[in-house]
A and B are shown apart, each in its own frame.
Chain A
Amino acid sequence: MEKELKCRRRFNLMIIQKIELQNFRPFYGPNNKLNISPKEDRNVILIKALNDVGKTSLFEALRFCLYGTKRAAASHVNRKASSENDGTMSVKLTFHHNFDQYEIIRQVDFKQNTDPNTLPDLKGDIQLKITKDGVPQKLETIYEQNDYVESILPKGASKYFLFDGEKIQEYTKHPPEKNAKDAIEMVLGIRELLNARDDLKTIENDLSRELDDLLRKQAKDKNEAEDIERKRKNTEKLKDEINSHTDQMRHMQEIIDACDKDLEKFKEIREKAKRRKALEEQVKSIQQTIDETDEQLRKRNKNAGILFVSPLLNILKSLSSPLTIPKQWERAAAKALMDVDYCICGAKMDEEIRKRLAPLASEFKLTKAERIKEDSTDLIADTEPKSLRKELFGLIEEKVGLEEDKKGIKGLIEDLNKEIKEDPEEKIQTLEKTRQKASEDLKIYRTEKDEKVGVLKKEEAEYKKRQHALATETHSEEIKQKQDHIYTCESARKAIEEVIDTLVETRKNDVEKLSSAVFKQLTNRPEYYEGIVIADDYELLVKTVGSEPRHIWRQDPSSGASQILATSFIAALNRYTAREAPVVIDTPIGRLDTIHKENLINFYPELGPQVIILYQPEELDDTDIAKIRQYVAKEYEFTRDLAYHPDITLIKEVG
């Protein structure tokens, strides 16, 4: 099987050799060409441009050439060209596909438009010209033309080949986009087989109906023929009912999934509400401490006056000593000796000595300044303003800290308020009820469907048995032929179903294994992730070590991780695709961190046989390019001549 797939892949290989742009967006005039054929072992084409210079326009040009419609065409016309004259806008792709050489030109004529605020009018319809090996293909209608292009690269599958690195996370959406399953099956080559199976089933039913008609006309037992036809109608009715049940089940499942998603969201909000409440309690407690500190501070304000004048008291305390004033020390000594029994020399202070010292002692008197100094000294000793001040500022500092804490927590509460816009409890209750009801309905529909499928199997078996019996006993060549046709269809359908079962299983497993391996190679947390799991609807699930596969949105990965997840999946799809096309990546690095970026740069050359990278200089520098230099076949740079033609992009080959 693997060998066969490889052969087919080569067969479906598409390689773009040349892109030619005429008056398309910033590419003015007819001479805008890029030769982008890969060389042996060099499959990477690099195109560098600053933002808003033409990277995305080239990306759009590829899409326009393959799938463009008139509706969007006017917005692609180069403004300078349309302001000068009537003209033509076109994009031409030259490429190999299935060993054949193709040219596709999509073009439209436009009228002159000198008003820079409006789009130019278009002349006639869009024209698509396709040549294969130099022979123009006759494709009458636009539908035929589009079908032709779709057979080369279906539009639905193209998003896995042409993608924008910044928007790549969209591939990990839940639920997957409506057409994701079809697109992926198309890429893997399963879609065609499914279509063939469905077509064969339709033919089989039509033939069976025709056989019933013949039996009604030719069989001897008309009653049996009519009865058989009724049985067929019954089985068809049963099938309709089963289909309707399947639709209902899908609808119920969608409701359950949507409820789960919303419940997850509202439960997160509930957690946030809990956290907010805890924070509000914290604020209350801090406020209480602040109030207590305020009260302490208020009490300390009784010392405000003494603290305020304490610098003055300190200065007064340090006034010069009274004993430095002449004679003052003698007076002070005489006054001091009058109050003691013995002098410091040991002599007794008798009446005679006291009498002699009395006049000197009576002359001792403090000056005003001395008295103030003394009082200030006493007051400082009494009040200790230094420690009062220390205590006060300690409290103030504590209060400032508490206020900051309160402010920080209030900020968190405000952030949470923005996220909690409504009361989650009521929503959770409603959602849980809705989910419960949908689950019950789903169970009922499933049981009923299973019963109906059982009945259908029996009815179909009996219908076929009786149809076969009646047809055999009718001995009609026409009926026998019809039976043979039915049998052939049935055999072919069963064979295809077997192939599909095998293919779906092996392809999905292969893609799953490879995307997991690539993801682990690219992620910056290989030890955390076990890999990628692909659900039946091709939604990507992520599996971390020791856990069940989970929806990516439940895992809440960073945008970088999402980009890596999606890239891994796309890489694996491209490896197993039934149609190998060039991979064109606009904005390849997006907002990735250094490790993801480095891993991804090294991986890009492995993405496919032709990888075209449209980057801006800030995404990839010379060091980054050096890592993949050996794979680079061609390098281009888009520039603008700001002095003369600020709106025109010039294409320059570099390197």
Chain B
Amino acid sequence: MTTPSRRRRATYPTLVLAAVCSLGVGGAACGPLEAQAPDDPSTPPAKEQRQPIAPATAVDAGTSAPQPNDFFGGGAPYEAYPEDGGVP
């Protein structure tokens, strides 16, 4: 194995960062996100309408249905929100 030298960095936000930015409390971390997102004048003030995006939670081992990853394996996460999952 080699230690990778990354050619690029991810600039799309993680779910946690997206939640913070959506609340408008992310400060500098949300700069590029908000800079490209002009406010819709018809949208109510942020504090009234906006709620955080809940981070993904661990899979319940006793679920009543297999998770999407269970079907064909391969190790690629199927959903960031496993409890919402479902193979299309």
A binds B: no
Interface residues of A (CB under 8 A from B): none
Interface residues of B (CB under 8 A from A): none
